[in-house]
Each structure stands twice: as C-alpha cells, then as structure tokens.
Amino acid sequence: MPYGVGMDQRPVVLITGASAGLGEEMARQFAALGYDLALCARRIDRLEKLRDELPDRRVLVKRLDVTDDDAVFAVFQQFADEFGQIDRVVVNAGLGKGAPLGTGRFDANRATAMVNFVGALTQTEAALQIFRAQGRGHLVMISSMSALRGMRKSMTTYAATKAGVAAIAEGVRSERIPGVDVSVVYPGYIRSEMNEHVTQKTKFIVETPVGVRAMVKAIEKRRVKAYVPAWPWVPIGVAMRLLPLSIVRKMV
C-alpha cells in the first residue's frame, strides 16, 4: 500500500486513456489489488461500462481529452477533491497515428505529438501540482521500447514522443521532489486497441492481460525504469542501445 494512506482510506490511482487497451486492463488489475480508481478518457460510455464491472471498488469516471490543457488540470483536481487524495497518476493516454515524414501526413504526426508528448507534459504538470500539495505521490509515465532509438517510417514521430515522455520522467526524478516517486515503463509488444491491426505473427507480442500484469508489477515496486515484459525486452533494450542503427531497424 502506498505510503501516507490511512487505514480507513483505500489508495487511489488515476489512469488516463483508461477506456481501452493498456489503460483499461491496468484499471482492472489495480482494482484487484485493492485500489480505488479515478479513470478518464474521451469515451465516457466505455468508462462507465468499465466502472459497472468493478462494483467492489469506488470508481469515478470523467471524460477527458488530454490535448485540452484546461480540462486536464480541472479533471485531475476534481478527482483529488472528490477522493481527498490521489496516490498515483499513470500518464497513459496515447495515440499511434503516423506516417513517414515528408509524405503529406503532417496532420497524423502532429496529432500523435500533441497527444503523446504535449498531453503527457500537461498531465505531469497537473499531477505534480497535486503531489506537491499533498507532500507525496507516485508519477508513472508510460513510454515505449521504441523510445530507445530513432524509429523509421510511420514510427518516427511516435518513437520521438515516447522518448520525450521518458525524458520528462527523468527530469522530474532528478529534481527529487520530497515524497514523490517517479517511474517510467517501457512496454514491448503488448496487444492493445492501438495495435489491433498487427498480425498474430508479430515476434514477441503478448496478450493484454499478460503484458499489463508485468507493467503493474513494476509499477507496484516503484521501479525507476522497467522494460516489460522483462523477457525478452530487457536484453533487447540493452542491444537496442548498443548496436548500430542498421541492425536495430531489423530487430523491432
């Protein structure tokens, strides 16, 4: 149980992008661990359905587009006010659009940059305002294994945004804000709504519950940095950082 939580108060985790994929499954698994949930995403109908599936926990849901700066600050603070505390914020909302640069799809690349990086920055600002006021909290940033090196074609912008997310996490951790822990999670290939078009033959891909279980385990341990699932992504992560780009592009 996170520190600072009273015996009469269950810990609260706030998850963005919780209407599908990794965020939805994290909500289920954190609920099973005894957390109350503050869930937000654009699709409020899916959040309400998820809330109804978790009757044994206090679950509050709110519609949120993370590119709406004012709404991010307002929704996070509303959750903090309604629960009386937020123990952990998982910056998870993401977008997987993209196209090779210079091919006329700047709109797709810009949308991904705004959601994945600028949206993550806004969420971090809002979370840390709450944590500084509380004197404690756990900030979790969901990055990607693709963040470890520059990626080609449609992955270029996505990988760059996820590298930016990891850099934000490292910068906040370097500040050493009293009472605040910071974790960055680098998922490998975990099946989700974002990659549902990928064939089952993709190397190393695991189903959502399996991959998220590894994510939640790392988060619960407050790991500073976690490649998940550990096999095969820990050794792949080492290789990606050390090998020439010409070899890396064949690996992932």
Residue 37 contacts residue 30 (beta carbons within 8 Å): yes
Is the backbone peptide bond immediately before 235 cis, with ω within 30 degrees of 0? no
Please say whether the dihedral angle defined by the alpha carbons of residues 146, 39, 138 and 134, taken in this order, is positive or negative: positive
Structure-token match 């929704």, residue found: 75
Q: What's the helix, strand, coil split of the chain in %, to 5?
A: 50, 15, 35
- CA distances (Å), origin 241, targets 190, 224, 245: 21, 18, 9
Residue 162 contacts residue 114 (beta carbons within 8 Å): no
Whether residue 186 lies in the annotated active site: no
Residues 54, 29: Cα–Cα separation, whole Å: 11
- Written as six digits, the tokens of 228 are 């998940």
Q: What is the DSSP letter of 94?
A: -
Q: Write down the catalytic residue from 3, 35, 158, 186.
A: 158
User: How many Cα atoms sit within 13 Å of 198 on the Cβ side?
Assistant: 16
Amino acid at 83: F
Residues with a known catalytic role:
158
